[in-house]
Chain A
């Protein structure tokens, strides 16, 4: 079945870049997403990438997709304390909009 895995924790200094990684198993994944969840809140869509792309950039966010290795990453440039949150990657398969989420990576930004 589908499985999405992430490392649990990442700590970075303010101003540095953060890289959050994700691996997935479903080779039919069509869209891959990054969501942000602040404490006690719902999920906020940050960005998504279509499976036929290998990179997408949106301001401070860069998404890299290695479809051969089923590896997705999210790079946050110039990380700020407001970026501290849990980041989830998620995928949808072919002809379905059901989201399969990873376990989430807690990003902590320290001054």
Chain B
């Protein structure tokens, strides 16, 4: 069964360092999402891609976070510099297409980030 892949699964870093997370969506899925899930809360959308284009990054802290999906397939989320408050689970999801709210989003296992 096709799955969303993410790496690394766990990352420990010191504040002010740079970190990067990688996501490979299900093959053929045009839409890719990055969510942040703080412990004890539900996931919140950071950025949404349709193919290689960003369609929603209104909740992305752009002073330190960046995301790209250069070839419209896999994606990288970067934080530079990391802050203590960035400690969270970063979830990637993909769906077949955008705009139809019935399209199921499939989630990867997540990357758990701890900033010391």
Contacts and interface: CB of A to CB of B under 8 A. Distances in A.
**Secondary structure class of chain B's binding surface, majority of residues:** loop
Interface string A71-105: 00000000000000000101011111111011110
Nearest to A98: B45
A62 interface: no
A94 B42 CA distance: 21
Counting contact residues on chain A (CB < 8 A from B), the size range is: 20 to 34
Contact of B42 (A48, A98, A103): A103
B36 to A, nearest CB: 11
Contacts of B44: 101
Contacts of B103: 97
Interface string B85-116: 00000010101001111111111111010000
Contact of B102 (A31, A35, A43): A31
Contacts of A40: 110, 112
B14 interface: no
Given A40-B112, A43-B107, A97-B31, A104 B42 contact: yes
